[in-house]
Amino acid sequence: MFIIPRRNIIYRSWTFVLAFIALISVHITPIYMAFLSKSALSVLDVIMNVIFFMDWVLGFFVAHEDSTTHAQMARNYLLRSYGIPDFVSLIPVQLFLWPSSNVVYIIFIVVRLWRFRRVIVSISWLEAKNPKWFEWTPFIKFIWVILLNMHMWGCIYYLIASIDPDEGMSWTSGKKDFFKQTFKTKYVTSTYFAMTIYSTVGFGDYHACSVAEMITCMINMITNTGLSAQVLEQFIELVNERRRRKKKSAPLLLGCDVRNVTKETMEIVSNKEVIAVNQDLLGVQAKKVRMEGDAEIWAGPLSGYRVAVVFLNRGPQKHIDITANWNDIGIPPKTVVQARDLWEHKTLKTPFVNKLRATVESHACKMYVLKPVA
């Protein structure tokens, strides 16, 4: 049976290629929607559609949780993953070219923006894989989102004005013969108008005139308020994170007679991987997230989107199976993680999705660091 592992290096490279193509698609889609003629068959659009269709077909062969047959993989891809929205984003917009279907045409163009998720997933994976390299990416992402927001709203404002090109009743009335200008002039002017809406309510030279434009401006200003709050929050978090990195971690004290410490005890207290969790730059204390009888689960976030998890068996029962669900320990659902056993000093070969289970002996514990990989 042909199965593609999620961690396969070729498949991972393929996802990055798709993320790059999706990045292009997200920027081109608003321009295609607003400025290009609906009767023009975009060769680039067709090529990108073919590539994403190939990926959609491959999705039926990618291993998912609890998938042992192709039927199970197909069901999981369609019902528990992104198979259906991915397919909807593949519908050729060229099918909706007749004049009576402008609204449907625009809807299916906007659906193409769903491909943007591939960019976010790829960047998140890179951040988790190389946290030191990508510590500034959260701020860069939000700056990019602002620029993309201006780009999209500029195209939307032009589209609204072009539907009823009466320059006396449109925001384009500030520029004579606006629709006869070059593409560069129309695009820059539309983006400039979107920027004035983002920063204020206009500079006077361009302002909403029709009811449709006024409603669009109100929606734009409301969404921009939330976006600005998110950007400010991200910037503050970034500054606080860098401050935390500059602080020295708390010292560790050994409360025993070091002259009589056994070799076994010394191996425990000198475990470098466990000490690294204690001295992690994020500096967030772990907490008990679940307790069932003598079984306890402790978890806490680490830098680089990692999570430390401890399974503790306080009772006399020799073997207890303890399961930590992602919702309990702060990992998003369906996230694929790699588990590092800190006592055994080895990385478990099998990746985990949605939960981690381990058998713990009496009065013992197991400690893992979970690192997202997909």
Q: Quick one: pLDDT at residue 98?
A: 45
- DSSP element (H, E) containing 162: helix 137-163
d(CA 285, CA 301): 8
Q: Domain spanning 135-246 has what CATH number?
A: 1.10.287.70
Residue 338 amino acid letter: Q
Q: Quick one: pLDDT at residue 39?
A: 47
Cβ within 8 Å of residue 94, ≥6 positions away = 41
Second-level CATH architecture of 262-372 = Sandwich (2.60)
What is each CA distance from 89 to 22, 47, 123, 149, in whole angstroms? Answer: 11, 14, 21, 20
d(CA 342, CA 299): 14
> How far does CA 36 lie from the centroid of its chain?
30
Q: For residue 372, what are its two tokens?
A: 């997202």
d(CA 157, CA 290): 51
Domain boundaries, the chain: 1-130, 135-246, 262-372
Q: Quick one: pLDDT at residue 165?
A: 59
pLDDT tens by residue, the chain, 374 residues:
567 776 677 877 888 888 888 888 788 878 877 876 554 446 777 788 888 888 888 877 776 655 556 677 777 777 666 778 888 888 776 565 444 455 666 666 667 777 777 777 777 776 666 655 556 666 677 778 888 888 888 888 888 888 765 556 788 877 778 888 888 888 998 888 888 887 765 556 778 888 888 888 888 888 888 877 877 777 777 777 666 665 555 677 888 788 888 888 888 888 899 988 888 877 788 899 999 888 999 999 988 789 999 999 998 888 889 999 998 898 888 888 999 999 999 998 888 988 999 999 988 999 999 998 86
pTM confidence score? 0.58
Rg of the chain taking only CA atoms, in angstroms: 27
Phi, psi dihedrals of residue 107, rounded to the nearest 5° = -60, -45
Q: Quick one: pLDDT at residue 9?
A: 79
